[in-house]
Chains A and B, each alone.
Chain A
């Protein structure tokens, strides 16, 4: 296992407020790593520290073998970052933006031109090359932002809430691109998000809340551990069904016309359904979702 980012005891305070409290984690090379948490949980702070933008107060960070605080320049050469807000120049064309940003990495002109063309190809914006950044749509901008982050051929790509504020269709196309980069370029992707369905696609998820790591694991592990599957039945004879459930010792909750029975695994629904046969009009067996897991972990709905 190759740890490309290692964080230990990371702490950051803003005056009396502790934004990040002594957290440890690592990121495996070539994996898609998601930082999930509500707004203000410390996601951006952590990402900004790793990207050399913010000074940490305590702890150690090693990125691709280089120690943060000592070899910042080396780290900067190896990372690309997509910020929440756009950081490109309105009045410059897509190509000019990419070329200017590419030329501050100390690469030869030829390499910069090559990288610019490659980045535009990967993000599928070659036909926008001569358009001014300010005239692009939200989705086109986002793709250009990602192209900018790829301009130095980074080993690690950071994305801070890459799909916030985009319409569902654009969100999907951005997401497809991210998965493609990981698959075809073997790039390590580190992203923060507060969308459950995005965290679900990651190889590994860390849930951060109030500056501490509340849970970590693969999406499947998190769902297993923190959410329940459930059996929903629509009874024809409500009282009889409830009596049988009580006999079976199953906990349940009632809604308007449904009875919801939490179960450990979907397979546990079978014996119950056998006993209820004849008393129900229909049923549904549902897997736990990341939403459930998130609520299970933090005890709160995701804050928008």
Chain B
């Protein structure tokens, strides 16, 4: 029953080409800005990598891009849920013997599927870009890490977006929100500009934003293919957001993983509370 609903949601999402495109828009903007303006400005940061400077900086930007994709595509996927409510299609499910929780679970599961598929697609494009510019594909081990990280990152993003979506009743509000998110996600993951350039206050916001932790991990995995991370000076690592500093404490990889898992759990729980309370009211 749930599987059939998930299949239906996937079809509804992928058949609407425009919405698929728009859910990738945030990602396209980041790549565009990088190609047009930012690439030269930050090339200096890659000096430590020597002849792999280009490879390293491409890996850096693409790490941020893949992380951003996980959240913008999750947002696009949740559009189906908002549309169904607005167009009253949801009533068709409500007069069927399908339970409310099954319906909501199907929306979440399909968004996770879409997020994972689209993030892999983005990762594929990222690798192609790196390869074309003289870099190399990630090793098999790194690829396995990327798979795990993508699942984790998408789960966390979906939870976050699900929570946001709970407060949106109209497609209009939702599409405005997803445009805003698509635009600022580049800043929030430190992908438009290295986070070191930004004021301390903004850097703090970035450190709190769940997906930026996924971005850190993507960068670590991908940049490590170009240059061993230990060879990079600590200030460069922090400038590029390859590691986060909380006070004097450098957050280890497991810390980022823990944050992703934690935010996923917290936001799913909060969303369930909101959805359950809403049902009670109506």
Report A's interface with B, CB cutoff 8 A.
Answer: 51-53, 73, 76-77, 79, 81, 83, 85, 87-89, 91-92, 96, 100-101, 103-106, 148, 152
Query: What 0/1 readout, one digit per residue, does chain B (1-37) give for beta carbons within 8 Å of chain A?
Result: 1001101100110011000000000000000000000
A-B contact pairs, 21 of them (CB 8 A): A53-B91, A53-B94, A76-B96, A76-B97, A83-B88, A85-B87, A87-B87, A87-B89, A89-B12, A92-B8, A96-B8, A96-B11, A100-B7, A104-B1, A104-B4, A104-B5, A104-B93, A104-B98, A105-B96, A106-B97, A148-B92
- Find chain B residues with CB under 8 A from A91 CB: 11-12, 15-16
Q: Which interface class (under 10, 10 to 19, 20 to 34, 35 or more) fits B?
A: 20 to 34
Q: Report whether over half of chain B's contact residues are helix, strand or loop; otherwise say mixed.
A: helix
Closest 4 CB pairs of A and B: A91-B15, A87-B92, A103-B4, A100-B8
B4 pairs with A100, CB closer than 8 A:
yes
Interface residues of B in 96-125 (CB under 8 A from A): 96-98
Query: Is B231 engaged at the interface, CB distance under 8 Å to the other chain?
Result: no
Interface residues of B in 61-98 (CB under 8 A from A): 87-89, 91-98
Nearest-neighbour CB distance to chain A for B18, whole angstroms, equals 11
Nearest-neighbour CB distance to chain B for A168, whole angstroms, equals 27
A76 pairs with B16, CB closer than 8 A:
no
Q: A76-B96, A96-B11, A104-B93 are in contact. List 14 more A-B contacts (CB 8 A).
A: A73-B97, A83-B88, A87-B87, A87-B91, A89-B11, A91-B15, A92-B11, A92-B12, A100-B4, A100-B7, A104-B5, A104-B98, A105-B96, A148-B92
- Find chain A residues with CB under 8 A from B7 CB: 100
Complex Cα distance A92/B10, Å?
Answer: 11
Complex Cα distance A76/B95, Å?
Answer: 6
B8 pairs with A89, CB closer than 8 A:
yes
Complex Cα distance A92/B95, Å?
Answer: 20
- Find chain A residues with CB under 8 A from B8 CB: 89, 92, 96, 100
Complex Cα distance A106/B16, Å?
Answer: 28
B97 pairs with A104, CB closer than 8 A:
yes
Complex Cα distance A148/B96, Å?
Answer: 11
Complex Cα distance A216/B15, Å?
Answer: 48
Which single residue of chain A is at the shortest CB-CB distance from B106? A104
Nearest-neighbour CB distance to chain B for A5, whole angstroms, equals 15
Complex Cα distance A101/B95, Å?
Answer: 11
- Find chain B residues with CB under 8 A from A101 CB: 92, 96
Complex Cα distance A77/B7, Å?
Answer: 22
- Find chain A residues with CB under 8 A from B96 CB: 76, 101, 104-105, 152
Which single residue of chain B is at the shortest CB-CB distance from A107? B1
Complex Cα distance A291/B89, Å?
Answer: 34
Nearest-neighbour CB distance to chain A for B242, whole angstroms, equals 41
Report B's interface with A, CB cutoff 8 A.
Answer: 1, 4-5, 7-8, 11-12, 15-16, 87-89, 91-98
Complex Cα distance A208/B87, Å?
Answer: 28
Complex Cα distance A20/B177, Å?
Answer: 38
- Find chain B residues with CB under 8 A from A106 CB: 1, 97
- Find chain A residues with CB under 8 A from B12 CB: 89, 91-92
Contact of B95 among A52, A88, A89, A96 (CB under 8 A): A52
Nearest-neighbour CB distance to chain B for A144, whole angstroms, equals 12
- Find chain A residues with CB under 8 A from B94 CB: 52-53
Which single residue of chain B is at the shortest CB-CB distance from A112? B4
- Find chain B residues with CB under 8 A from A89 CB: 8, 11-12, 89
- Find chain B residues with CB under 8 A from A100 CB: 4-5, 7-8
Nearest-neighbour CB distance to chain B for A149, whole angstroms, equals 9
A92 pairs with B1, CB closer than 8 A:
no
Which single residue of chain B is at the shortest CB-CB distance from A96? B11
Complex Cα distance A141/B134, Å?
Answer: 54
Which single residue of chain B is at the shortest CB-CB distance from A91? B15
Which single residue of chain B is at the shortest CB-CB distance from A87? B92
B95 pairs with A79, CB closer than 8 A:
yes
- Find chain A residues with CB under 8 A from B89 CB: 87-89
Complex Cα distance A259/B88, Å?
Answer: 53
* Known contacts A100-B7, A100-B8: A53-B15 contact under CB 8 Å: no
| Residue of A77, A83, A103, A152 with most partner-chain B CB within 10 A | A103
Complex Cα distance A60/B5, Å?
Answer: 32
Complex Cα distance A100/B12, Å?
Answer: 11
- Find chain B residues with CB under 8 A from A83 CB: 88, 91-92
Which single residue of chain B is at the shortest CB-CB distance from A102? B4
- Find chain B residues with CB under 8 A from A52 CB: 94-95
Complex Cα distance A152/B96, Å?
Answer: 9
Complex Cα distance A92/B5, Å?
Answer: 13
- Find chain A residues with CB under 8 A from B91 CB: 53, 83, 87
Complex Cα distance A256/B265, Å?
Answer: 80
Complex Cα distance A152/B87, Å?
Answer: 23
Nearest-neighbour CB distance to chain B for A188, whole angstroms, equals 16
Nearest-neighbour CB distance to chain B for A152, whole angstroms, equals 8
Nearest-neighbour CB distance to chain B for A260, whole angstroms, equals 47
Complex Cα distance A275/B92, Å?
Answer: 63
- Find chain A residues with CB under 8 A from B4 CB: 100, 103-104
* Known contacts A87-B88, A104-B1, A104-B4: A81-B95 contact under CB 8 Å: yes
- Find chain A residues with CB under 8 A from B92 CB: 83, 87-88, 101, 148
